[in-house]
Homo-oligomer: A and B are copies of this chain.
Amino acid sequence: MTTALLTDHYELTMVQAALDAGTADRHSLFDLFTRRLPDGRRYGVVAGLGRAIEAIENFRFAEPEISWLLEQGVIKENLAEWLSNYRFSGDIWGYPEGEVYFPGSPVLSVEGSFAECCVLETVLLAIYNHDSAIAAAASRMTSMADGRPCAEMGARRTHEWAAVGAARAAYIAGFAATSNLEAGRTWGIPTMGTAAHSFTLLHDSEEQAFKAQLASLGEDTTLLVDTYDEDAAIRLGVQLTEGRLGAIRLDSGDLGIMARRARDLLDDLGATDTRITVTSDLDEWQIAALSGAPVDGYGVGTSLVTGSGHPTCGFVYKLVARAESADPTAPMTPVAKKSKGKNTLGGRKFAMRRRDEKGVAEAEVIGMGTPPTNDGDDRDLLVDVYEQGELVHRPTLEDARARHADSLAELPLAARRISHGDPAIETIILDASGDETTNPYQAAPNPGNI
């Protein structure tokens, strides 16, 4: 499936006008970054790079796309020909998936001709804005779960394909499994699930339903016990399995109180190994509130796939430098608009995480000249993704997951607090001489930080 039309109309009208004016080939550098984190959030989580690479590989204008664009008058013949040969031939570098980021972090940089970089804007932003929003929420949830497994169950609460991306982003941020079969097939994420209330209601009695489930899925299955009376259902499940029932699921009511009651009852019945899973509108706050309850796992749906209040990230994709002519040897000039409140830092950047001697992150250092000498504690953040059109970065999803765990572990402890606050570390901007300069990003305190 081509990704070529997952593109704003104006990307193509800009390229059309630039082609006609002879400026389309000017060598250009675009940065994908955010000026601020969502209100009160202490860090962001990069997710989407793996999907972005797929989108770039599938960014092809074949006959059906070209014909439609010509018919609609979006493009003219010269652009039609250019698009039909489109293949990204430039360089891309950025933060690996799973890495945390802060205001101003140059999460992805795309360098090539203006035209070839411009047309990727919409789909790259869409992927990063969605996937990173989900990953940031997921990371807060797994932090609060503190080792108890979280399962992603939000497929029914968001667009059907967004759900597949959400499951992937959640896995990067530490979720253990997903209910989403397509996410399992496409990305190899473990899938899970047993039964809903409808299964119990289908049968003549809860006993008939439980027997049917146990016969088909085995005693290690999870029985949903709150269709009628929880205590009766728990007793029934334990009795039918002679105490070997794998787990029960609670999906309504006051989950903390119910989990305590269920645990006591299970223990009284001798089912001490039967686990308790809770679901029902959980978010990071609910998970934190249940930290003292005897819960063995969380299933999270709505709040995960909607980013727990922040369904998008505010990433933008800005031209920060371009050549003064189409001559491939022409020098690059930093550029920046002056629109109010939307300042951009021009030019090519380095990015490193400054760490103290114990390895604790202290600052995000972004600069436009030579990076400062690394005293051994600091960490370079950028990896090459494409070199002259060739893909050179092929990490697995497990790599991204490990990267996230490591990056989070390195942040100051305050980063993991769920209360509203400022970014966990400051962003320091260095100018071309290596001197600190005014930071245009998240300069004002967060409204959420009282």
Contact = CB atoms under 8 A, between A and B. Distances in A.
B10 A195 contact: yes
Given A12-B181, A337-B228, A18 B158 contact: no
A410 interface: no
A98 B311 CA distance: 25
A5 B164 CA distance: 10
A402 B181 CA distance: 37
Nearest to A313: B157
Interface in A178-217: 179-182, 184-185, 191-204, 208, 211-213, 215-217
A182 B8 contact: no
B196 A10 contact: yes
B9 A202 contact: no
Contact of A253 (B203, B311, B341): B341
Interface string A113-149: 0100010011101110111000000000000000000
Contacts of A1: 1
B160 A55 contact: yes
Contacts of A131: 159
Nearest to A213: B17
Interface stretch (A21-29, A374-382, A419-427, A429-437): A21-29
A219 interface: no
A13 interface: yes
A202 B20 contact: no
A13 B194 contact: yes
Contact of A339 (B129, B253, B302): B253
Nearest to A161: B161
A241 interface: no
Interface stretch (A85-93, A318-326, A354-362, A363-371): A318-326
Contacts of A17: 195, 199, 212-213, 215-217
Interface in A12-69: 12-14, 16-18, 20-21, 23, 26, 28, 30, 55, 65, 68-69
Given A55-B160, A158-B312, A199-B18, A216 B6 contact: no
Tally of this chain's copies: 2
A72 interface: yes
Given A202-B319, A212-B17, A161 B162 contact: yes
Given A17-B216, A125-B157, A201 B9 contact: no
Interface string A224-239: 0011110000000000
A284 interface: no
A251 B197 contact: no
A282 B207 CA distance: 54
A352 interface: no
B184 A6 contact: no
Nearest to A19: B216
A240 interface: no
Contact of A158 (B11, B72, B129, B198): B129
A436 to B, nearest CB: 26
Given A180-B8, A339-B252, A212 B18 contact: yes
Nearest to A12: B181
Nearest to A79: B216
19 contacts: A1-B1, A8-B156, A9-B184, A13-B193, A13-B217, A14-B198, A17-B216, A21-B208, A26-B202, A126-B157, A129-B157, A130-B160, A156-B317, A159-B165, A200-B337, A204-B324, A226-B339, A227-B338, A253-B340
Given A7-B155, A8-B181, 7 more contacts: A6-B182, A9-B184, A9-B192, A69-B181, A159-B159, A197-B319, A201-B319
